[in-house]
C-alpha cells in the first residue's frame, strides 16, 4: 500500500464534496455541517484555501486513489496547525493516517523548518487521540471538550 500526499487541486472537490455530507466523518471535527455542502461551495472552498500562502493543503492518495485530506494551516515560520480526515471510511484503521501524518510532519519540520506543530482534538475522538499519541504529540492543555496537543521538532533538543 503506497501512501502519498500532494497539494489539493480544484478537481478534488468532486470527490471531497461527498465526504462533507457524511456526518460520521465530521462527527468530532471542528466543522460539523448542518446543511448540505454543494459542489459549488466545495469548489469555492478549495479555490480559496489553495490560494492562501500560510496553508499547505494536501490530498492523501493510497495507491493513486484520493481518500482524504491533510493540512498544515496558519504556518508562520515557527509553528503551524495540523488537521486530518480520511473521507473514504473503507480506509479507516489501516495505518493510512499515520503514514500521511508522518509525511506532512516531515515536511513541516524538515522542509519548512518549523519548531512546533499544534492540534486540537475532541476528547471523545478516540481514534484521533490514539493516532496523535502514536505520532508523539503531547497534551499541553485541556479546554472543555477539547485537548490541545503539540509536537516539537526534537532535532534541535
Ligand X SMILES: CC(C)(COP(=O)(O)OP(=O)(O)OC[C@H]1O[C@@H](n2cnc3c(N)ncnc32)[C@H](O)[C@@H]1OP(=O)(O)O)[C@@H](O)C(=O)NCCC(=O)NCCS
Residues that bind ligand X (CB under 6 A): 25, 28-29, 84-86, 92-98, 121, 125-128, 130-131, 134
Closest contact distance (angstroms) between CB of 109 and ligand X is 19
> What kind and span of H or E run contains 105?
helix 96-106
- Burial string for 84-118 (b: 16+ CB within 10 Å, else e) reads bbbbbeebeeeebbebbbebbbebbbeeeebeebb
Closest contact distance (angstroms) between CB of 69 and ligand X is 9
Cell of 48: 480559496
Toward ligand X, which CB reaches closer, 17 or 97?
97
Toward ligand X, which CB reaches closer, 95 or 113?
95
Closest contact distance (angstroms) between CB of 156 and ligand X is 26
Amino acid at each position: 500500500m503506497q501512501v502519498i500526499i500532494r497539494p489539493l487541486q480544484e478537481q478534488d472537490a468532486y470527490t471531497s464534496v461527498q465526504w462533507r455530507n457524511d456526518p460520521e466523518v465530521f462527527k468530532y471535527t471542528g466543522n460539523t455541517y448542518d446543511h448540505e455542502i454543494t459542489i459549488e461551495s466545495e469548489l469555492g472552498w478549495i479555490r480559496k484555501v489553495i490560494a492562501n500562502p500560510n496553508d499547505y493543503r494536501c490530498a492523501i492518495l493510497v495507491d493513486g486513489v484520493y481518500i482524504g485530506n491533510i493540512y498544515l494551516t496558519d504556518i508562520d515560520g515557527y509553528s503551524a496547525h495540523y488537521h486530518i480526515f480520511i473521507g473514504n471510511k473503507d480506509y479507516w484503521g489501516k495505518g493510512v493516517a499515520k503514514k500521511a501524518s508522518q509525511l506532512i510532519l516531515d515536511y513541516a519540520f524538515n522542509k519548512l523548518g518549523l519548531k512546533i506543530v499544534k492540534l486540537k482534538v475532541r476528547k471523545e475522538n478516540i481514534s484521533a487521540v490514539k493516532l496523535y499519541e502514536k505520532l508523539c504529540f503531547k497534551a499541553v492543555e485541556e479546554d472543555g471538550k477539547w485537548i490541545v496537543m503539540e509536537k516539537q521538532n526534537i532535532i534541535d533538543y
